[in-house]
Amino acid sequence: MMSHEVIRGIVRQCSENRFFSIITNESTDISGKQQFSISLRYDAQDFTVHEEFIGLYEVDKADADHLLLDCLCSLGLDVHLLRGQAYDGAAVMAGARNGVATKISELES
């Protein structure tokens, strides 16, 4: 319960400051499970930059729909307010056809 309250507080602060960026990484742990980390980055009204780790999520399928868009939706963050994206360079994240960056660009067009 405490971790959910901390995450809700971070998301609330992020939403109050309107625009945000994401920093993500996808990797496989030693047991072979794929994991996805997400951090939010936003500027506060006093122009300080905040970078907050949201969580490490185990994923069954490593594609754009499951990795990031579902996570942003579950946090209640509006993808249309997303202004920056940082990935680890993996094709699943930055791929020109089916990557997360491409999916988000399609939503904005």
Confidence (pTM): 0.75
Residues 66/24, Cβ–Cβ less than 8 Å:
no
Average of per-residue pLDDT across 10-16: 89
Token pair 């994206």 in the structure block, residue: 85
Containing 13, the helix (H) or strand (E) segment is helix 2-16
Residues 82/22, Cβ–Cβ less than 8 Å:
yes
Q: What are the residue ranges spanned by the domains of the chain?
A: 2-108
Residues 22-68: tens digit of each pLDDT: 888 878 888 888 888 889 999 988 889 999 999 888 777 656 566 67
